[in-house]
Amino acid sequence: MFPVLFLLGWFLWSFIEYCIHRFVFHMKPPAHNYYLITLHFLLHGQHHKSPFDGSRLVFPPGLASIVVVAFYLVLQKTLPEVLGTSVFVGGLCGYVVYDMIHYYLHYGSPKRGSYLYSLKAYHVKHHFEHQRSGQTPHKQHREPPNGQKRVKRTRIKAGKRQKETLIRWFPLMRIKFKVQKIK
């Protein structure tokens, strides 16, 4: 029974993280409300402004502890102790693995063609090209945003102008990046 509850907790964490990221971190706060705009920026906007700042890549421990304790208390009040603890442990492991993957996608160098390489390319697009897509670093959607056709494999390349289409300036890095098809 523990493995099923553990996986349920992991799934529950993934769902909660997706909802928070999608509906809170990427919402558009009202233009007239200075406090909501500031709170939104502090919670997640700063991460998008400085995606290579290592101190802003994982959920802040102080805030995370509040969420973890709340998650634990809800589970303990709604489920028998052993069941609630099993779901909690699964959710906690899911959170730790999520943060480790997210950190690696920003700082790691996955092998070209690997699953993590494709996740990193997808997450880079989330940060720099399509802020509404790629809501979590471990979820890839079947169809890219705006109905574009998916390129099977891409290579992100910096350097001189080439025949490939210039995707966009990465303003934080001041380097032109291009995506080209691998033959």
Q: pLDDT digit of tens for each residue in the chain (183 aa)?
A: 889 999 999 999 889 888 888 888 778 888 888 888 888 887 777 777 777 777 777 777 788 889 889 989 999 999 999 999 999 999 999 989 988 888 888 888 888 888 888 888 888 887 776 555 545 554 444 334 444 444 444 444 444 333 333 333 333 333 334 444 454
Its pTM surpasses 0.75: no
Q: How far apart are CA 87 and CA 53, in angstroms?
A: 32
Side chain identity at residue 127, one-letter code: H
pLDDT of residue 92: 92
CA dihedral 170, 175, 180, 182 (to 10 degrees): -120
pLDDT of residue 50: 75
Q: How far apart are CA 10 and CA 90, in angstroms?
A: 5
Q: Are 81 and 5 in contact (CB under 8 A)?
A: no
pLDDT of residue 132: 54
Q: How far apart are CA 118 and CA 165, in angstroms?
A: 20
pLDDT of residue 135: 54
Q: How far apart are CA 149 and CA 153, in angstroms?
A: 12
pLDDT of residue 31: 84
pLDDT of residue 130: 58
Q: Give counts: helices (H), strands (E), the chain.
A: 6, 3
CA dihedral 143, 148, 149, 150 (to 10 degrees): -60
Q: Which residues lie below 8 Å from residue 28, measured CB to CB, with a gap of 6+?
A: none
What's phi and psi for 109, nearest 5 deg? -125, 80
pLDDT of residue 80: 92
pLDDT of residue 147: 41
User: 115: exposed, middle or buried (C-beta count within 10 Å: 0-12, 13-18, 19+)?
Assistant: exposed
pLDDT of residue 129: 67
